[in-house]
């Protein structure tokens, strides 16, 4: 038995090298973390993705891959796309609310010029729109 | 040369069977679509994920996987996680704006009781929070 192996090397039943790409981000005491990314992306793809980015951002990448893998396991149809769709709907609701309030305020503006409200909230929905598809309603 | 192969079978240089799991979602006239999911998940994982869900939702799953793969290619560090983080920040801004307006309206409420606004906007941020991590600022 080889001790001190990371979760990836333990999963692959191999020796964990000192420069193991997985070791800092997938510790052996959290096997579920590696199991999730392994299930969705495969160990080889995770290794490749981590290799292709600078070492100082690998922890964030591993965390985001884990988050996306968990989302896909929880929702095998929509994954993170489903969360984004829900958030876009929340933003749409907020925008509608703000327009409604703005209209209400404008009614009383002439009598109370100091009740002037100008929203700074401007979400460019276009930047998050799904290419060629409207967002779904999960 | 085998004609009529889907993008996945073309990529794998194999015959495209009549019941090919990829064929309806990865047509040969859009090779970039399959190339994106292949790069991030690997062909075998994509096939497995499609197999595990009912046929009537596979088109949506293929679309969401393509969206997530594109996001990861565009942002190899944060992928979709980065988009979710940005949207949560937009929602936080919207909530702050609404609280500010509500306070402004309340100042004038006694004089103008008809200017009563009650926001229906309520985002449960908790449901989208990243487990054990605060959202980053991309």
Per-residue pLDDT tens over the stretch B87-128: 999 888 888 888 888 787 777 666 555 545 555 554 444 445
**A79 with B65: Cβ contact below 8 A:** yes
Chain A environment of B69 (Cβ under 8 Å) = none
Cα of A40 to nearest chain B Cα, Å:
7
- Cα A6 to the center of its chain, rounded Å: 24
Residues B36-61, mean pLDDT to the nearest whole number: 96
**A40 with B45: Cβ contact below 8 A:** yes
Which candidate from A71, A88, A105 shows the least CB-CB separation from B87? A88
Residue of chain B with shortest Cα separation from A82: B64
Lowest-pLDDT choice from A127-136, B26-35, B76-85: A127-136
Mean pLDDT score of chain B: 82
Lowest-pLDDT choice from B14-18, B69-73, B75-79: B14-18
pLDDT(B133) > 90: no
A44 touches chain B (CB under 8 A): yes
Query: What's the pLDDT score for residue B38?
Result: 96
CA dist B118 and B102 (Å) reads 8
Query: What's the pLDDT score for residue A95?
Result: 84
- ipTM exceeding 0.90, yes/no: no
CA dist B135 and B138 (Å) reads 9
**B121 with A78: Cβ contact below 8 A:** no
Q: What is the 3-state secondary structure (H, E, C) of chain A?
A: CCCCCCHHHHHCCCCCCCCCCCCCCCCCCCHHHHHHHHHHHCHHHHHHHHHCCCHHHHHHHHHHHHHHHHHHHHCCCCHHHHHHHHHHHHHHHHHHHHHHHHHHHHHHCCCCCCCCCCCCCCCCHHHHCCCCCCCCCC
Interface probe for A, chosen from B60, B70, B77 (most Cβ of A below 10 Å), is: B77
A105 vs B59, more confident: B59
Chain B environment of A111 (Cβ under 8 Å) = 112
Query: What's the pLDDT score for residue A4?
Result: 81
Which candidate from B61, B78, B86 shows the least CB-CB separation from A76? B61
> Quick one: which of A102, A104, A107 has its CA closest to A117?
A102
Cα of B2 to nearest chain A Cα, Å:
29
Chain A, 74-133: which have a CB under 8 Å from a chain B CB? Answer: 76-84, 86-88, 90-91, 93-95, 97-98, 101, 104-105, 107-108, 111-112, 115, 117, 119-121, 123, 128, 130-131, 133
- Residues in chain A predicted with pLDDT less than 50, given as ranges, are 1-2, 115, 122-127, 129-138
Query: What's the pLDDT score for residue A7?
Result: 95
Lowest-pLDDT choice from A6-20, B37-51, B59-73, B101-115: B101-115
Query: What's the pLDDT score for residue B97?
Result: 82
Chain B, 12-31: which have a CB under 8 Å from a chain A CB? Answer: none
- The tally of CA atoms less than 13 A away on the side-chain side of residue A109 is 10
């Amino acid at each position: 038995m080889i001790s001190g192996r990371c979760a990836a090397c333990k999963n692959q039943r191999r020796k964990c090298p000192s420069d193991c790409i997985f070791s800092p981000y997938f510790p052996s005491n959290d096997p579920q973390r590696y199991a999730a990314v392994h299930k969705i992306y495969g160990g080889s793809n995770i290794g490749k993705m981590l290799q292709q980015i600078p070492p100082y951002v690998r922890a964030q990448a591993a965390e985001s891959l884990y988050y996306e893998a968990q989302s896909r396991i929880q929702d095998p149809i929509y994954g993170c796309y489903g969360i984004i769709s829900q958030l876009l709907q929340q933003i749409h609701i907020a925008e509608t609310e703000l327009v409604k309030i703005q209209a209400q305020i404008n009614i009383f503006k002439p009598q109370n010029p100091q009740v002037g409200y100008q929203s700074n909230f401007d979400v460019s929905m276009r930047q998050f729109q799904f290419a060629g598809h409207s967002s779904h309603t999960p």
